[in-house]
A and B are shown apart, each in its own frame.
Chain A
């Protein structure tokens, strides 16, 4: 399909395990975002890429969280030594370009990866 895809859709991890979540943005989209959505809450920003450059990682909750987008397309969010509080849905979104000024671009969201840490 032409939308944002994420894998796996569901992940169960034991506490202390490392996990890697993948995002395939829409082809040609320059901007890529990761959000974390806890149960019953709205998504919260984690990090932002413009092409391969990570321009904003202010939302990453700890140094156990790491994201990369080495070739400016696919992105991976890695969580090391998972904790129970990491359980959430991780959403990836992409948009055509970083517009700035007064032009804004719609962010297209993937279906998310539901992470459960036992």
Chain B
């Protein structure tokens, strides 16, 4: 779907470096979810943002949703090889009869020692 744009498409960083992944929509988002996926596996829930300006952190990962609720960023501090994987943002567009998520195309993160 082109309703959510993720950037960059791929990222290769050295262990210990910080990085940011962005997720942008042309429409207001009613809920924004960040998931991580490893090859051959399902999606692992990271965080959900709902309110404009909201920010959440878990361990070394911080996610933010802008005031207009159209853009979110995922920031990893002091990256580790365990952070490697595909990061997906998913959004609830607020349809009344479903909670289906629209996903971005994903950002593939590689962390080398």
Contact between A106 and B48, CB atoms less than 8 A apart? yes
Residue of A nearest to B49 (CB): A104
Is the contact region of chain A dominated by helix, strand, or loop, or is it mixed? loop
Q: How large is the interface on A (under 10, 10 to 19, 20 to 34, 35 or more residues)?
A: 20 to 34
- Chain A residues closer than 8 Å to B98, beta-carbon distance: 48, 55-56, 98
* 25 contacting pairs across A/B (C-beta < 8 A): A33-B101, A40-B105, A40-B106, A41-B106, A42-B4, A42-B90, A43-B88, A43-B90, A43-B101, A45-B101, A45-B102, A48-B98, A56-B97, A56-B98, A91-B42, A98-B98, A99-B99, A100-B96, A102-B30, A104-B92, A104-B99, A109-B43, A110-B42, A111-B41, A111-B42
Contact between B103 and A43, CB atoms less than 8 A apart? yes
Considering only CB atoms and an 8 Å cut-off, how many residues of chain B contact the other chain?
Answer: 30
- Chain A residues closer than 8 Å to B102, beta-carbon distance: 45
- Chain B residues closer than 8 Å to A65, beta-carbon distance: none
- Could you tell me which residues of chain B, from 42 to 70, have a CB within 8 Å of some CB in chain A? 42-45, 48, 50
- Chain A residues closer than 8 Å to B48, beta-carbon distance: 104, 106
Residue in contact with B31 in the complex, picked from A31, A35, A59, A104, CB distance below 8 Å? A104
